[in-house]
Chains A and B, each alone.
Chain A
Amino acid sequence: MSRWDGGLDRSSADDRVAYGGFHKAASQRHLLLPALHAVQDAIGWVSHGAINYISERLTLGPAEAYGVATFYDLIATDEQPARVAHVCDDIACKAAGVDVMLDDLERELGPPRTDLDGVMWRPSPCLGQCDKGSAAFVQVAGGDHRVAAPASAKQIIEILRSPKPRDHVVAPTPRQVGAPTSLLARVGSQPTLDEYRADGGYEALTTALSKGSAWVVEQVVASGIKGRGGAAFPAGIKWKSVAAHDGTKYVVCNADESEPGTFKDRVLLENDPYLIIEALTIAGLAVGAERGYLYIRDEYPIALRAITEALSSVRAEGLLGEDILSSGRTFEIETRRGAGAYICGEETALFNSVEGYRPEPRQKPPFPTDAGLFGRPTLVNNVETLANIPGIIRKGGAAFATIGTDDSTGSKLFCVSGNVSEPGVFEVPFGATVRDLISLAGGPTSDIAAVLIGGAAGAFILPQDLDLALTFEATRERGIGLGSGVVIVFDSSVDFVEIVNRIAEFFGDESCGLCIPCRVGTVRQAESLVRLSSSNGDRTVELEILDELDRVLRDGSVCGLGQAASVAVQSALALGLIGDPA
């Protein structure tokens, strides 16, 4: 079947052109999200006409395109103001006292989610600027999106109202003082490609090309590195498994860092984009992929700009594309923007997002290493995991494995925020304790009441447990996950009911809706918590409901989002941070 797919501007020239017919057009479905972004960026929302036009060009049912568009927070299908500020009200910023700023904003600008004379603001889940204590991401139709962090009400209003708003206003990430770092070595210097190469950059790629793919995979296996995105799966197993497959394969850099309290990947992408690009190139060549995708959350425009500029530099230098460094090997990287959906950090949901489908997770097995992106074997690694690769190649996997502990090799980035003097991202060899990290961050600002390890999907610990070593094995033994390296410190002024309710609300908002335990269970959990903290709830009944919800969420949800949605709630209950009889 062949059909007209030239859009509405039909000219006589088109009459003689065949665009490849139905199948060619259908294979372009992966362009759906970029197309929706293009319209959203240009006019601030995606109209019915736009959906129809995009559907026609990509040979989709308009209902399918609408289904995809309505999934994402940052794609609007109802007309809305051209400028919309998404202002973080998530847990790390809450601990840092962002509520005062939100009150100011509401007083000076007006209520959220309302057209206020051509502009709008709305509260947002974590924007990955937790070290700043407040943040805003502003969608500017017809221009570039803006980030302000820390953000004041005055600044946000200025970005929304000014005819020509200033560029991003973001405080620099402070350099870690004390012990030398490797992953963070270039933070603050933002090297050019020449500077990066002068600093040893692309030596690893040269080594990898000369020693061959099998050697590279061996090094990653020998390094014992485990995934830094939260699941802690041994990266070497994935590399080996994908490399063993024949045919078309893909590599994906998961830069959809959305776990509340996490901002390490943003710091790496913004400051050291060449490191990530080199690492992804090594990964692609090692496992035999010719195409890599870097999926980055839309709330990170500064990182996207850094990556985009870096990509064009490396292409110009022959470090990407055809015949890389005269090796005869081909590898290309394409960036993809997320659109405001926490679930897209789940690898199979990310695949569906790239492919132009609703980003619902897929049931595993099959695992991505066997059937991932476009149904092909796919290697997915987190940004921080990849950042370790060039070092592993330069120094050898065995050398890497000597750092840290037996089960947790290498060093780890931790995102320390909340009530500490100098929040930031810190690199320590595995084995450092919570207390070590808090002192790296300048110590607590006052008495610590609890610390959240691992983000919204993580668990709380009490002040007497600050000597807990932040390794995969020690945290697992305690029944809490290390997650993505989040350490949020809460002092005694923090209202834990509010924090835990915000976490529960977050999971309800971010559930994709595919499976019943998560679709309904996350909302029921949030409701039960509200009843529990109010005087009219029956404590015994609510605790029983929360306990059974915990079980079904962990046992029955399709993906990690639902399976982790009750962890923080349960730990807060177990530690008596919430739910104690008043």
Chain B
Amino acid sequence: MIETRIEPPKPLVTITVDGVEMTAPQGATILETCRDADIAVPTLCYLDTLEAFNACRACLVEVEGSRTLVPSCSREVTEGLVVETESERVVAARKMVYELLASSVDLSLVDGETAMFMERYDVDVDRFGTADRPVRAVKVEDDLYIRDYDKCIMCFRCVAACGPDAQNTFAIDVAGRGLKATIATEFDIVLPDSACVYCGNCIGVCPSGALMFKTEFDMRASGDWRPEDQTVSRTVCSFCGVGCNLELHVQDNRIVTVTSPMDHDVTSGHLCIKGRFGWSHVQPDDQ
């Protein structure tokens, strides 16, 4: 029998969001409260399964009495908080955040939600013209995944997934500072020489296509990548007894990538090298 500990309910606090009074449990963030109330707040670096980084500033909201805008992903609700999620000030800041980001990296593969918000805020991606931006070549160092830091928005998710929030491998970290900062192994050595264990959890959390399965990268290069023709089958990984759930992304009867559901109790979206990459033996032509 599975014992489930039931915690006493947390006291509720009352806050006002966009003029509407609502309650939220103590300890909840403004972002969680907004999402529960179906109020759309954009995020770039935030991910439920990782600790908030406060880096991207897309989720900024206006809090009455606060000198600056406030990152909703990390600010916990307090009694009487008055929040504006899309005031003129908030929209101006978000628009600029996207415009600045677009001037520094390639956003062509960024997630759909971000694309939607960029349209909503009328973002001018060419605003800064030929601004200074670091140009970085794609790193293809093995057959499993590639790193295209030209598309890296510096959300820090991969560093957290590789490190303390999931894998505890610490193969990558941020190196350098300012606009020149990038994600790197020590001395930028190639992945096979680094501490990387190829769990691919960094790919699983990357929101901008900077980290990508080699299969997807090659298919995109040859023009064969067709997400609209892909199906997703959920199954249980058969390599060991942990019970990780896999989502097999299949195109033309071949597995092209593997993910794990973010909301799955066992994995929280994370896998190991076997679940993530160990599927060549079931491909039709590799057997």
Contacts and interface: CB of A to CB of B under 8 A. Distances in A.
A358 B184 CA distance: 14
Contacts of A519: 104, 154, 178-179, 181
B43 to A, nearest CB: 12
B173 A523 contact: no
Contact of B178 (A51, A365, A510, A524): A510
A62 B179 contact: no
B173 A67 contact: yes
B103 interface: yes
Interface stretch (B18-26, B67-75, B215-223): B67-75
Contact of A552 (B100, B128, B163): B100
Interface string B49-65: 00011111110100000
A523 B132 contact: yes
Contacts of A558: 54-55, 57
Contacts of B56: 515-516
Interface string A534-555: 0000000000010011011011
B148 to A, nearest CB: 19
Contacts of B163: 61, 64
Interface string B166-207: 000111111111111100111100000011000000000000
A516 B177 contact: no
Given A48-B187, A556-B60, A524 B100 contact: yes
A398 interface: no
B101 interface: yes
B131 interface: yes
Contacts of A358: 173-174, 177
Contacts of B173: 61, 63-64, 66-67, 358
Contact of B104 (A55, A520, A557): A520
Interface stretch (B2-10, B89-97, B235-243): B89-97
Interface in A520-578: 520-524, 527, 545, 548-549, 551-552, 554-558, 563
A181 B104 CA distance: 51
Name A's interface SS: helix
Interface residues of B, number: 47
A527 B175 CA distance: 24
Contacts of B68: 554-557, 563
Contacts of A60: 170
B131 to A, nearest CB: 6
Contact of B179 (A363, A508, A549): A508
Contacts of A513: 154, 174, 176-181
B194 A63 contact: yes
A554 B74 CA distance: 19
A125 interface: no
Given A517-B97, A519-B178, A363 B186 contact: no
A523 B97 contact: no
Nearest to B188: A66
5 contacts: A512-B177, A515-B55, A516-B97, A552-B93, A555-B60
Interface of B: 52-58, 60, 68-69, 71, 74-75, 89, 92-93, 96-97, 100-101, 103-104, 127-128, 131-132, 154, 163, 169-181, 184-187, 194-195
Closest 8 interchain pairs by CB? A61-B170, A67-B173, A513-B181, A62-B186, A520-B100, A552-B96, A363-B54, A66-B186
Interface of A: 48, 51-52, 55, 60-67, 70-71, 77, 341, 358, 362-363, 365, 508-517, 519-524, 527, 545, 548-549, 551-552, 554-558, 563
